[in-house]
């Protein structure tokens, strides 16, 4: 079907600078793209397109005026610490001390599915990179970074820990075990509402900066290589994906994409490999 009208707008820029001073050369490059994604119309006869069923609830909602595939769920106001808090705050079905406390978004005094709301977009609003290359005599060094900012990730791998699967999350060690122990990580339970519902508890910042590659090389002097009947000889060592700076708790913040309404959902994606290479040209 012709499902929607969507507009992507922004600015792409690239800046490069190079200079030479005797035996020393250097180059600096910057590039970036700002991104604004917005659904203008839906052609399916619907006002919304829900997608990605997780624990019986859809996790993304596509609607006019928002980015496609926006995350949708409950806002978290804390963890119930005792029975008095359960009775004091807006009525929330079948909760106990240690469970997540959701926000009463519509203000009707009852917390239910009508309080689900938009929790961010999986689409970054800024994509960027920069690189530096240095040369001095026979030595050369190049460094390349890339990153994104402004996007969210649904850590559904973290949600899976409640369904008899192994525990992959260090945050589990910080769970609620009694009054005052945690106001962010709920108690142990084997799945279900509210602790494994789609909520801010599983929505994380997807910002990252990655040191994508580093290459260090040395080209031997021609006076030496000529004796070996070679016009050029260079040895080098390189490292890829050497370091990633991110607040995301999963294996990698680079989730990739599938269907456009299912972007930014981490179901246990395999992390990028860190590699070291040695070579001779």
Predicted local distance difference test score (pLDDT) of residue 123:
95
Residue 161: per-residue pLDDT: 61
- pLDDT (average), residues 211-222: 95
Which tops the pLDDT comparison, 73 or 268?
Answer: 73
Q: Phi first, then psi: what are they for 174, rounded to 5°?
A: -100, 20
Q: pLDDT exceeding 90 applies to what percent of the chain? A: 67
pLDDT given for residue 169 in this prediction? 67
Q: Beta-carbon neighbour count of residue 279 at 10 Å?
A: 11
pLDDT at 100 over 90: yes
Average pLDDT over residues 148-167: 78
Q: Between 193 and 127, whose confidence is greater?
A: 127
CA distances from 256 to 72, 101, 122, 268 (A): 19, 31, 10, 12
CA distance 105 to 72: 13
Give the separation between CA 92 and CA 86, rounded to whole angstroms. 8
**pLDDT, position 146:** 97
Per-residue model confidence as pLDDT tens digits over 160-210: 765 555 556 677 788 899 999 999 999 988 778 888 899 999 999 999 999
Neighbours of 202 (CB within 10 A): 24
Is the model's pLDDT at 214 over the cut of 80?
yes
Averaged pLDDT of the chain: 90
Question: Which residue shows structure tokens 């699967």?
Answer: 165
Sequence-separated (6 or more) residues with CB below 8 Å from residue 258: none
What pLDDT shows up at residue 3? Answer: 83
Residues 21-50, mean pLDDT to the nearest whole number: 92
Please, where are the H alpha helices in 30-122? 83-88
Pseudo-torsion of CA 166, 172, 177, 181, nearest 10°? 180
Rounded alpha-carbon distances, angstroms, from residue 122 to 3, 236, 245: 19, 38, 18
| Model pLDDT, residue 165 | 55
Cα–Cα distance measured from residue 95 to residue 55, given in angstroms and rounded to the nearest whole number: 17
- Predicted local distance difference test score (pLDDT) of residue 163: 52
| Nearby residues of 219 by Cβ (< 8 Å), 6 or more positions away | 138, 140, 232, 233, 234
pLDDT of residue 124: 95
| pLDDT tens digits for range 43-56 | 877 889 898 887 77
pLDDT at 92: 85
Predicted confidence at residue 16, as pLDDT, reads: 97
Note whether 250 and 154 are within 8 A (CB): no
H/E segment holding residue 101: strand 100-102
Q: Give the alpha-carbon dihedral of 136, 32, 118, 156, to 10 degrees.
A: -40
Cβ(266)–Cβ(256) below 8 Å: no
Nearest-CA neighbor of 211 among 163, 179, 243, 238?
A: 243
CA distances from 120 to 126, 204, 235 (A): 15, 9, 47
pLDDT value of position 256: 75
Higher pLDDT, 168 or 22: 22
pLDDT for residue 56:
79
């Amino acid at each position: 079907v012709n499902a929607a009208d969507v507009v992507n707008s922004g600015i792409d820029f690239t800046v490069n600078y190079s200079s030479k001073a005797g035996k020393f050369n250097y180059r600096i490059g910057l590039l970036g793209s700002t991104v604004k994604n917005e659904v203008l119309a839906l052609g399916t006869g619907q006002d919304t397109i829900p997608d990605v069923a997780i624990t019986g609830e859809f996790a993304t909602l596509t609607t006019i005026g928002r980015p496609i595939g926006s995350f949708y769920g409950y806002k978290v106001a804390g963890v119930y610490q005792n029975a008095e808090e359960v009775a004091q705050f807006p009525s929330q079905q079948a909760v106990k001390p240690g469970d997540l406390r959701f926000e009463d978004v519509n203000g009707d005094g009852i917390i239910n599915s009508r309080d689900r709301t938009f929790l961010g977009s999986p689409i970054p609003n800024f994509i960027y990179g920069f690189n530096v290359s240095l040369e001095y005599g026979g030595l050369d060094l190049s460094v390349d970074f890339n990153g994104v900012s402004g996007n969210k990730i649904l850590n559904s791998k973290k949600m899976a820990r409640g369904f008899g699967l192994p525990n992959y999350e260090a945050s589990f060690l910080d769970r609620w075990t009694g009054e005052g122990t945690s106001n962010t990580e709920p108690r142990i339970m084997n799945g279900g509402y509210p602790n494994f519902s789609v909520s801010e508890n599983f929505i994380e910042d997807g910002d990252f900066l990655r040191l994508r590659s580093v290459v260090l090389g040395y080209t031997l002097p021609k006076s030496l290589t000529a004796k070996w009947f070679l016009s050029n000889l260079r040895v080098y060592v390189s490292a890829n994906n050497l370091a990633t700076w991110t607040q995301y708790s999963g294996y990698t913040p680079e989730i990739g994409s599938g269907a456009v309404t299912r972007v930014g959902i981490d179901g246990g994606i395999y992390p990028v490999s860190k590699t070291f290479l040695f070579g001779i040209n």
